[in-house]
Structure 1
Amino acid sequence: MAIDARRTALVALLVCSAAVAVSAISDGPLPNGNFEDPPNQSQMRGGSVVTGEHAIPFWKTSGFVEYICSGQTQGDMILTVPEGAHAVRLGNDACIQQQVSLTRGMYYALTFSASRTCAQDEVLNMTTVPVSGGYPGQSGDLPIQTVYASSGWDSYSWAFKAEAGLMTIIIHNSGQQEDPACGPIIDAFAIRKLYPPEPTQNNMLRNGDFEEGPYIPAGSPWGVLVPPMDEDHVSPLPGWMIMSYKKVVKYVDSGHFAVPHGARAVELVSGVETALMQEVYTTVEGSWYRLEFSVGDAANGCAPSSDYSSPGGMKVKASAGMDDTTVDINFGGSGGCTRGKLEFKAKGSPTRVVFVSMGYHTKSDSSGTLCGPVVDDVSLVPIPQPYSRRLLL
């Protein structure tokens, strides 16, 4: 019996060691994050419904979960798969989760792709929970009912702080439809460690060049959506908040878009419904500051939507405190950028720096893909009080 006990303990130790080894991850795709490693067929029903909670390698499932193949049909609808040949659909009250080994205290951004199927108002709940307990879970909702790309699916990001070295990432569809299979398709999960920049002597803003942000898959031509968030949540775009009810901004790279500066920028794809905002807590009442920024054309054929009354081009409104300025961008969808500037007197602290697109735009190829102006290379610095303004005081 002692030998059997030792054997049991050894087997348990090996299993735990293996689990920790395969769960330790770096920047990039999660283990079987694209679901190309198929489930155990003995734990499937009807060819697609997952019945065993550990049927899909590296994942645990519950509720109505389907393993989707590219080109699979549902009635007259062909189901799209974002990456590779397979994905997962979350039906009524379904969830899928994976344990990952992370660096405690660090911030992470999760990137994945999702497409809506037959339900109109679909929302995914994202949660991270320390496996060992002791800390509350972090959660947030991602609205996915708006389709931004003509492909029918988009890439999303969500961020969290690793409160422990071993965390469980949970994706839950809390919707209830008459057809339990009417749920979002999800795929291509990846993760990236975030290093939130601090203000410097040359820039009072954090991450003003937008170089720090969520993982963008190699070869991805569509960018990553950054959703609205509560002020207490961690931003996938460190330093910046997305202020909206359900709309988003898009994080883009220089490999597929015209970026004014560096390798990353933000495309304002939701018009006046979404604001890109940062609060600066070091401004002093009565002191003068200069906000400078680049706004541009992403070279993606962006044009005014049919319901947008302006005759052409795009406009970005930038505000700081009580002051604002509007910059016109009219490069015909082929790229290009211009520099904007706003000098203002602070009313106190914090000072809100806000960017908003003043119109709604879609790509000119009639695909219906939502687009907008690009914002990049934002800086805020103190300046001496202008002499002409001193004379007026």
Structure 2
Amino acid sequence: MYKLTVLSVLLCATWNIALSLSDGLLPNGNFEYGPKPSEMKGTLVKSPNAIPNWTISGYVEYIKSGHKQGDMLLVVPEGAFAVRLGNEASIKQRVKVIKGRFYSITFSAARTCAQEERLNVSISRKTKPTSDWDILPIQTMYSSNGWDSYARGFVADDWDVEILIHNPGVEEDPACGPLIDSVALKLLFPPKRTGGNLLKNGNFEEGPYVLPNTSWGVLIPPHIQDVHSPLPGWIVESLKAVKYLDSDHFTVPEGKRGIELIAGKESAIAQVVYTKPGLVYDLSFLVGDANNYCEGSLVVEAFAGRQSVKVPYESKGKGGSKPASLRFRAVSRRTRVMFYSSFYTMTNDHSGSLCGPVIDDVKLLISRKKPGHA
């Protein structure tokens, strides 16, 4: 009997872990399964549990792609349906996770009314109050079709958590608010420093889930808005987001993932690494473009310790890259390595979308040569 009980416990634990390991959309994460006609009044959802797998609160609308709002035609990025959150409205879903592990959430959002629309994304567990991140402003749109995907990171403090997306805005029209679609979850495996690279995740291969049917990448908000960065090892140390790219939709210099610096000096990433004062180090990286019509004279600025370098890259907007490096002498036990773009740049497809240089394959090693020597 004892052996049977132990076996049952082990099977349940294995089953729970197996359930939590799938990366991708949450159950009905793209809202393709909607309310029954009796649970709706026009586009307004009347019942808290009318949308399968979700619980709603407040003024929530179920929107079909092509729905007209005045002169505006609402387009859904993936599938045929999305939800719109009015004033103080929210949607939430409880999901199984692995306690103590690191996760990222990806979701798509679009404005429908005001320029100052905002969102709050929260994680909570049964025995503790909701853990809020700072408000995520979505007034700056980076894609040409009005939709952007965002990522957030969190450490699971229980075996199941509740993911909540909330519109804290107060507009004159209570129905005004952002559209939400394609909510996904990914288990992250933060890489460690190795003898081949003193930086963590220097090739950016570990990062948030990239929605397969979208072509605009994933925005990683600034560190001031996200305590746990969904880009392990790196801090988004700026006022605006950086963009996480995949090789399925863009050109990246190396591997399957890269980072696009999309907002000039307001879009920067950094990492603090342990160094030995007096030793000389070599920082190497690749600079390129994402094959997304980002043309012109792009410049990446790299900083390490007291040294910096400007790397120009003449982009034709069709993909490509070049190597760059910076040699420096460490002056402290902790050295901040940072990258940003010198200029604001827009794509030449007349969409007005912000773009910038792509960086990838960032490596930091102890140099065998002194600064100034080839």
Query: Is TM more than 0.5 here?
Result: yes
Match of 2:35 among 14, 32, 39: 39
Q: Report if the CA contact (8 A) 2:133-2:226 is conserved.
A: no
Equivalent positions of 1:267-278 (< 5 A) are 267-278=260-271
- The aligned residue for residue 146 of structure 1 is 140
With over 3 angstroms needed to count, the CA separation of the structure-2 counterparts of 1:89 and 1:356, relative to structure 1, is same
Deviations 1:172-213 (A, max 9, x none): 110100001111000011111000001001111000000000
- For the residues of structure 1 that align with 2:368 and 2:175, how far apart are their CA atoms? 62
- For the residues of structure 2 that align with 1:233 and 1:196, how far apart are their CA atoms? 15
Match of 2:66 among 62, 65, 71: 71
Deviations 1:268-327 (A, max 9, x none): 1111112111111x2122221110000101111112xxxxxxxx4200000011110011
- The aligned residue for residue 351 of structure 1 is 335
With over 3 angstroms needed to count, the CA separation of the structure-2 counterparts of 1:53 and 1:387, relative to structure 1, is closer
- The aligned residue for residue 202 of structure 1 is 196
Q: Which residue type is aligned with residue 251 of structure 2?
A: A
> RMSD of the TM alignment (CA)?
1.9
- For the residues of structure 2 that align with 1:388 and 1:337, how far apart are their CA atoms? 25
Q: Give how far 1:66 is off.
A: 0.7
Q: Give how far 1:23 is off.
A: 7.6
Pair 1:242-2:246 in alignment = no
- For the residues of structure 2 that align with 1:347 and 1:25, how far apart are their CA atoms? 43
Q: Report if the CA contact (8 A) 2:78-2:213 is conserved.
A: no
Match of 2:318 among 327, 331, 334: 334
- For the residues of structure 1 that align with 2:129 and 2:165, how far apart are their CA atoms? 19
SS at match of 2:144: coil
Match of 1:324 among 308, 311, 321: 308
| Contiguous gaps of at least 5 residues in structure 2 | 1-15
With over 3 angstroms needed to count, the CA separation of the structure-2 counterparts of 1:206 and 1:185, relative to structure 1, is same
Q: Give how far 1:232 is off.
A: 7.4
Quote the sequence identity (%).
50
Match of 2:289 among 287, 290, 297: 297
- For the residues of structure 2 that align with 1:387 and 1:205, how far apart are their CA atoms? 20
- The aligned residue for residue 12 of structure 1 is none
Q: Which residue type is aligned with residue 252 of structure 2?
A: V
Q: TM-score, normalised by structure 1?
A: 0.87
- For the residues of structure 2 that align with 1:163 and 1:113, how far apart are their CA atoms? 25
- For the residues of structure 2 that align with 1:232 and 1:147, how far apart are their CA atoms? 19
Q: TM-score, normalised by structure 2?
A: 0.91
With over 3 angstroms needed to count, the CA separation of the structure-2 counterparts of 1:200 and 1:23, relative to structure 1, is closer
Q: Report if the CA contact (8 A) 1:124-1:171 is conserved.
A: yes
- For the residues of structure 2 that align with 1:268 and 1:188, how far apart are their CA atoms? 24
- For the residues of structure 2 that align with 1:97 and 1:111, how far apart are their CA atoms? 14
Equivalent positions of 1:211-230 (< 5 A) are 211-230=205-224
Match of 1:375 among 352, 359, 367: 359
- The aligned residue for residue 251 of structure 1 is 244
- The aligned residue for residue 76 of structure 2 is 81
- For the residues of structure 2 that align with 1:329 and 1:91, how far apart are their CA atoms? 44
Q: Report if the CA contact (8 A) 2:134-2:225 is conserved.
A: no
- The aligned residue for residue 9 of structure 1 is none
Worse-matched range after superposition: 287-296 or 219-228: 219-228
- The aligned residue for residue 15 of structure 1 is none
* Structure number with bigger Rg: 1
Q: Report if the CA contact (8 A) 2:54-2:93 is conserved.
A: yes
Pair 1:191-2:185 in alignment = yes
- For the residues of structure 1 that align with 2:139 and 2:276, how far apart are their CA atoms? 42
Q: Give how far 1:233 is off.
A: 1.2
Q: Which residue type is aligned with residue 276 of structure 1?
A: I
With over 3 angstroms needed to count, the CA separation of the structure-2 counterparts of 1:22 and 1:204, relative to structure 1, is closer
Q: Which residue type is aligned with residue 57 of structure 2?
A: S
